[in-house]
């Protein structure tokens, strides 16, 4: 996976709370057996009218946000279904980070596995970024995972919390299956001390 | 040793090691797999030359995509068919047992785990599906994971996990007649919100939680994710043991006695501490109906669509205005005046035998309103068979309900069972998100009895006033 150090990019605001993964990638697009190619279906039912045309009101369809790589949204982003396809779609569309006051647990885990940074900022800070993104043409911010900061060129600055291990994995773009397999001895020892729950089953 | 909660006992028992600077490595006892969230995980294994570490602790089934028309009907959707074929091929290649389309054990993963006795107290259980929280009803630690984590568990039988916080939901008092586990779940989410339990594992305790049947506990734990919880659990007791005993994968003979002794030590110790405690008075709960597009937007059936000035805060008001428009509702409308076009009785929340019995009791001797299309989708082939043994299918069919084959069906509409734009549905499923049951579809979450009553009345109606035949 792609490491994340410092990323400067254009911001697209999505001023809604409780954006669920059914909205991020509707179920009709979950039938692919590949990890790729989900970007065009991102927020499909919001981005597209029933006839397939682009909805002009939706932020990601507006020219001022074209090419955005940072999505800013309301609290509890990514709630609902565990579908990792939601993160694959965001990443494939070009997003490297999502900023919100809070994230649903499974979605946040899925982000880490794909090198997408889920940045938690205070509600006030998120509102400020959304306001600036709406008012400032080509509004960009810089997310620094080394320093755990978010800044713009106009005086906005905030720090974000992130646990050390998540930060380490993202900075290094780590395959954590490889890390777990380094503990083969401990896993085998655990298994020999615990009978398989279905040992006596058919 | 300090007093520990049910969660802490299971967590401690399953820590393989805590590598320095990393997250604790949690051992996974049972991994359930389905067709939608697994193909990329198997592909990852293949690319890295890895095997499935414990195929005997891994069980697969097809549920999300499968049509609920009679088995043997070809799958018309070629992409769905390809996904099902991918699972068949992957299970064969990696040695994972599969309960396939034609198996008498096929069903929704969260129905067949308990059905088969795979789900047992004290276990760690994962699945690439958020409703894995269901299995916590047995006093197991069960949670949903993403596809990368599915691959991780397939390869290592472990997951690096941040230790979640704990939340006690103490449900005092008794549920009134007509008020079910589903209403309890909706009442809780209505109170704490859809992110009220984010980062936490919920333990449901108190008189009302304890007096639920296993089926009721499964419904309650199932909906934990809708409050944002990592997992939900109920401490195992005699109700649990009686349910597990004799099932195909349950411990037998000498092993049974040992297992029960072990499971009996799992309930939280007196004085164990939780990070958060929530009190709910069950006796104050009513049959609920959701009115909005998340499961926290819920009111008693005897109430009305809220007015804007009844909303808790500005952001809820803003969200509510959008919901009114999407749902085609006017604030202040009485819930009992809202007519439905469709009724869905099914899903991992409410498609067990007890749910079907409850719905059938309502339907018996009545007719589905001619304006309503109503379907009943049993959670598994085993549930379907058991229901037919009791004649429930005849009650439904005589009343005008469709009686279908098992699967996730209209809960998420990945198969052909979907709502048309603007159609309004009384659904026993778990999510009323925009478009969840079909683009433009309007979902109201209710209990199985409330769903059956809505099908017959043609609108929501208070089950407490129902004329049972």
As a three-state string, the secondary structure of A8-40 is EEEEEEECCCCCEHHHHCCHHHCCCCCCCCCHH
Query: How wide is the angle at C-alpha B38 spanned by C-alphas A179 and B127, nearest 5°?
Result: 75
CA distance to partner chain A, nearest, from residue B136 (Å): 16
Positive or negative, the CA dihedral B281, B287, B293, B294 is positive
The CA-atom distances, in angstroms, between B89 and each of B31, B43, B60, B162 are 18, 11, 12, 33
Most confident of A191-200, B89-98, B305-314: B89-98
Residue A124 neighbours by CB under 8 Å, 6+ apart: none
In chain B, which residues have their Cβ closer than 8 Å to the Cβ of A74?
Answer: 315
Report whether pLDDT(A200) > 80.
no
Q: What are B305's two structure tokens?
A: 């669509």
DSSP letter for A43, please.
T
The CA-atom distances, in angstroms, between A3 and each of A115, A153, A168 are 6, 24, 10
d(CA B320, CA B164): 31
A60: phi then psi, degrees, rounded to nearest 5: -70, -10
Angle separating helix axes B353-363 and B448-457, nearest 10 degrees: 30
CA distance to partner chain B, nearest, from residue A52 (Å): 13
Residue of B nearest to A111 (CA): B146
Across all residues in chain B, what is the average pLDDT? 96
B139-159 pLDDT, tens digit per residue, is 999 999 999 999 999 999 999
Structure confidence at residue B135 (pLDDT) = 98
Higher pLDDT, A87 or B71: A87
B-interface mutation test, from A24, A46, A109, A193, most B Cβ less than 10 A away: A109
Residue of B nearest to A198 (CA): B249
Number of Cβ within 10 Å of residue B31's Cβ equals 26
For B81: left if phi > 0, alpha if psi spans -120 to 50, otherwise beta; the answer is alpha
The CA-atom distances, in angstroms, between B151 and each of A187, B238, B425 are 16, 36, 36
Report whether pLDDT(A150) > 80.
yes
Report whether pLDDT(B74) > 90.
no
Q: Which stretches of B275-412 are assigned E, i.e. beta strand?
A: 276-281, 288-290, 298-300, 342-345, 373-376, 402-403
Structure confidence at residue B73 (pLDDT) = 82
Given an 8 Å threshold on Cβ–Cβ distance, is A75 in contact with B195? yes
Structure confidence at residue B89 (pLDDT) = 98
B299: phi then psi, degrees, rounded to nearest 5: -140, 155
% of chain B residues with pLDDT over 70: 100
DSSP string, B8-57: HHHHHHTEEE--TTSPPEEE-SEEEE-TTTSHHHHHHHHHHT---S-GGG
CB-CB contact of A42 with A179 (8 Å): no
- Average pLDDT estimate for B24-43: 97
A38-55 pLDDT, tens digit per residue, is 999 999 999 999 999 999
- Average pLDDT estimate for A77-104: 98
Across all residues in chain A, what is the average pLDDT? 95
Report whether pLDDT(B286) > 90.
yes
Given an 8 Å threshold on Cβ–Cβ distance, is A183 in contact with B56? no
In chain A, which residues have their Cβ closer than 8 Å to the Cβ of B440?
Answer: 50
In chain B, which residues have their Cβ closer than 8 Å to the Cβ of A187?
Answer: 16, 25, 27, 53, 156-158
In the stretch 52-91 of chain A, residues with CB closer than 8 A to chain B read 74-76, 79-85, 87
Structure confidence at residue A145 (pLDDT) = 98
Query: How wide is the angle at C-alpha B428 spanned by C-alphas B422 and B431, nearest 5°?
Result: 65
- The answer to whether B194 contacts chain A (CB < 8 Å) is yes
Structure confidence at residue B422 (pLDDT) = 97
The number of C-alpha atoms within 13 Å of B233 and in the hemisphere containing its C-beta is 34
Number of Cβ within 10 Å of residue B359's Cβ equals 31
In chain A, which residues have their Cβ closer than 8 Å to the Cβ of B65?
Answer: 31
ipTM of the complex in this document? 0.96
- Average pLDDT estimate for B253-266: 95
- The answer to whether A130 contacts chain B (CB < 8 Å) is no
Q: Which stretches of B262-400 are assigned E, i.e. beta strand?
A: 276-281, 288-290, 298-300, 342-345, 373-376
Long-range CB contacts for residues A187-192, cutoff 8 Å, separation at least 24: A187/B16, A187/B25, A187/B27, A187/B53, A187/B156, A187/B157, A187/B158, A190/B16, A190/B27, A191/B27, A191/B54, A191/B157
Structure confidence at residue B8 (pLDDT) = 98
- The answer to whether B146 contacts chain A (CB < 8 Å) is yes
- Average pLDDT estimate for B216-223: 98
Higher pLDDT, A176 or B280: B280
In chain A, which residues have their Cβ closer than 8 Å to the Cβ of B198?
Answer: 76, 102, 104-105
Place of tokens 């190619």: A37
Return the closest-CA partner of residue B139 out of B122, B155, B156.
B122
d(CA B276, CA B274): 5
In chain B, which residues have their Cβ closer than 8 Å to the Cβ of A26?
Answer: 435, 439
Structure confidence at residue B1 (pLDDT) = 72
- Average pLDDT estimate for B353-369: 98
CA distance to partner chain B, nearest, from residue A4 (Å): 18
DSSP string, B97-114: -EE-TT-TT-B-HHHHHH
CB-CB contact of B203 with B274 (8 Å): yes
B385-411 pLDDT, tens digit per residue, is 999 999 999 999 999 999 999 999 999
The CA-atom distances, in angstroms, between B234 and each of A190, A199, B77, B139, B256 are 26, 25, 39, 5, 20
Positive or negative, the CA dihedral A43, A47, A50, A51 is negative
CA distance to partner chain A, nearest, from residue B380 (Å): 20
Number of Cβ within 10 Å of residue B298's Cβ equals 25
In chain B, which residues have their Cβ closer than 8 Å to the Cβ of A16?
Answer: 319
In chain B, which residues have their Cβ closer than 8 Å to the Cβ of A118?
Answer: none
Read off the pLDDT band of B314 (50, 70, 90).
confident
- Torsion, Cα of B385, B387, B391, B394 (10° steps): -90
Given an 8 Å threshold on Cβ–Cβ distance, is A83 in contact with B37? yes
- The answer to whether B118 contacts chain A (CB < 8 Å) is yes
- Average pLDDT estimate for A85-94: 98
Residue of B nearest to A29 (CA): B414
Stretch among A63-72, A190-199, B132-141 having the lowest mean pLDDT: A190-199
CB-CB contact of A107 with A90 (8 Å): no
Helices (H), B137-252: 147-156, 181-192, 207-210, 214-222, 238-244
CB-CB contact of A45 with A22 (8 Å): no
Q: What are A95's two structure tokens?
A: 């997003």
In the stretch 264-293 of chain B, residues with CB closer than 8 A to chain A read none
Residue of A nearest to B228 (CA): A104
Residue count (chain A):
202
Given an 8 Å threshold on Cβ–Cβ distance, is A186 in contact with B433? no
B439-454 pLDDT, tens digit per residue, is 999 999 999 999 999 9
In the stretch 163-192 of chain A, residues with CB closer than 8 A to chain B read 163-165, 168, 176-177, 179-183, 186-187, 190-191
CB-CB contact of B194 with B296 (8 Å): yes
* Predicted model pTM: 0.97
Structure confidence at residue A68 (pLDDT) = 98
Beta strands B342-345 and B373-376: pairing type? parallel
In chain A, which residues have their Cβ closer than 8 Å to the Cβ of B326?
Answer: none
- The answer to whether A194 contacts chain B (CB < 8 Å) is yes
Structure confidence at residue A202 (pLDDT) = 66
């Amino acid at each position: 996976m792609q490491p994340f150090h410092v990323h400067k990019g254009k911001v697209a605001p999505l001023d809604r709370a409780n954006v669920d993964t059914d909205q991020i990638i509707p179920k009709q697009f979950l039938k692919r057996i590949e990890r790729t190619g989900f970007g065009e279906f991102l927020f499909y039912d919001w981005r597209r009218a029933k006839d397939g045309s682009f909805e002009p009101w939706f932020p990601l369809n507006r020219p001022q946000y074209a090419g955005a790589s940072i999505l800013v949204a309301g609290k509890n982003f990514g709630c609902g279904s565990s579908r990792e396809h939601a993160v694959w779609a965001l990443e494939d569309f070009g997003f490297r980070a999502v900023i919100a006051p809070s994230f649903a647990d499974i979605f946040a885990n899925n982000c880490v596995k794909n090198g997408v940074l889920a940045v938690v900022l205070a509600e006030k800070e998120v509102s400020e970024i959304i306001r600036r993104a709406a008012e400032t043409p080509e509004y960009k911010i810089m997310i620094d995972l080394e320093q755990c900061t978010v800044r713009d060129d106009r005086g906005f600055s905030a720090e974000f919390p992130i646990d050390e291990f998540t930060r380490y994995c993202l900075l290094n773009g780590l395959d954590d299956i490889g890390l777990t397999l380094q503990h083969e001895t401990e896993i085998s020892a655990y298994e020999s001390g615990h009978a398989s729950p279905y040992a006596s089953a058919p | 040793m300090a007093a520990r909660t049910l969660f802490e006992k299971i967590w401690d028992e399953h820590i393989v090691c805590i590598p320095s600077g990393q997250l604790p490595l949690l051992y996974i006892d049972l991994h359930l797999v389905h067709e939608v969230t697994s193909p990329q995980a198997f592909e990852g294994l293949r690319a890295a030359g890895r095997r499935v570490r414990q195929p005997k602790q891994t069980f697969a089934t097809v549920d999300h995509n499968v049509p609920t028309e009679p088995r043997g009907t070809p799958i018309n959707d070629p992409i769905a068919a390809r996904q099902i074929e991918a699972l068949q091929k992957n299970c064969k290649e990696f040695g994972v047992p599969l309960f396939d389309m034609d198996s008498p054990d096929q069903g929704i993963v969260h129905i067949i785990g308990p059905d088969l006795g795979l789900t047992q107290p004290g276990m760690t259980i994962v699945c690439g599906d958020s409703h894995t929280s269901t299995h916590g009803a047995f006093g197991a630690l069960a949670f949903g994971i993403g596809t990368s984590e599915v691959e991780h568990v397939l390869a290592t039988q472990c997951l690096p996990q941040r230790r979640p916080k704990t939340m006690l939901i103490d449900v005092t008092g008794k549920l009134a007649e007509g008020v079910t586990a589903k209403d309890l779940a909706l009442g809780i989410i209505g109170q704490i919100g859809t992110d009220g339990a984010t980062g936490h594992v919920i333990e449901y305790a108190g008189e009302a939680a304890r007096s639920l049947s296993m089926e009721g506990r499964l419904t309650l734990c199932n909906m934990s994710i809708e409050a944002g919880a990592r997992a939900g659990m109920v401490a195992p007791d005699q109700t649990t043991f009686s349910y597990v005993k004799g099932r195909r994968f349950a411990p037998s003979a000498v092993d049974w006695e040992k297992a029960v002794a072990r499971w009996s030590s799992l309930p939280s110790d007196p004085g164990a501490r939780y990070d958060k405690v929530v009190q709910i008075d069950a006796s104050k709960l009513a049959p609920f109906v959701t009115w909005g597009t998340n499961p926290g937007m819920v009111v008693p059936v005897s109430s009305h669509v809220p007015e804007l000035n009844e909303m808790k805060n500005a952001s809820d008001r803003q969200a509510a205005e959008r919901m009114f428009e999407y749902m085609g509702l006017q604030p202040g409308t009485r819930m009992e005046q809202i007519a439905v076009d469709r009724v869905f009785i099914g899903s991992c929340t409410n498609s067990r035998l007890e749910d079907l019995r409850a719905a059938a009791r309502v339907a018996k001797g009545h007719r589905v309103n001619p304006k309503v299309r109503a379907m009943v989708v049993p959670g598994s082939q085993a549930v379907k068979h058991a229901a037919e043994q009791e004649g429930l299918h005849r009650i439904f069919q005589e009343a005008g309900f469709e009686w279908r084959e098992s699967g996730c069906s209209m809960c998420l509409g990945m198969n052909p069972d979907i709502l048309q734009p603007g159609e309004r549905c009384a659904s026993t499923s778990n999510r009323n998100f925009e478009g969840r049951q079909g683009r433009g579809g309007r979902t109201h979450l209710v209990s199985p009895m409330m769903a059956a009553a809505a099908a017959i009345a043609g609108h929501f109606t208070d089950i407490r006033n129902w004329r049972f035949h």
